[in-house]
Amino acid sequence: MTANAMIAGLRARGVALTPSLRWTGPVQRSELAGLAQHKLEIVAALVLAGRWTAQNVLDFFDERLAVREHEGGLAPDAASRAAIIDVIDYMQRERIGLATDQPP
């Protein structure tokens, strides 16, 4: 199942997702596995329709930091540096801008 299909299926059942993968509504165990498996794609799909807020950037940084520390085995300082690079690289690659209070 693709990230967009998963999001559409959850929304059809009344589940709302945020870019930090918090949700309201009932999520089934099998859907939790899908959310975990396709986390990056789902986060990207949720925010690509608009611009990222500072909170979106922080949430994505926290996710990458956890991955770098726990799955990558990096020390906290090295994980932080790598997570910052991950955020910048991803935002540049996907051409994600930052939301501001001022019009573009």
Structure confidence at residue 94 (pLDDT): 72
Are 69 and 92 members of one domain?
yes
- The pair phi, psi for residue 92, each rounded to 5°, is -70, -45
CA distance 30 to 6: 11
| Amino acid type, 97 | G
Are 58 and 104 members of one domain?
yes
Residue 17 belongs to domain spanning: 1-49
Structure confidence at residue 53 (pLDDT): 75
Non-local (6+) Cβ contacts of 63 within 8 A are 20, 39, 43
Are 34 and 63 members of one domain?
no
When pLDDT is averaged across residues 29-42 and rounded to a whole number, the result is: 84
Are 12 and 62 members of one domain?
no
Count: domains in the chain: 2
When pLDDT is averaged across residues 33-45 and rounded to a whole number, the result is: 82
End-to-end, the C-alpha distance of the chain in Å comes to 35
Structure confidence at residue 51 (pLDDT): 67
Are 67 and 40 members of one domain?
no
99: pLDDT confidence band, cut at 50, 70 and 90?
low
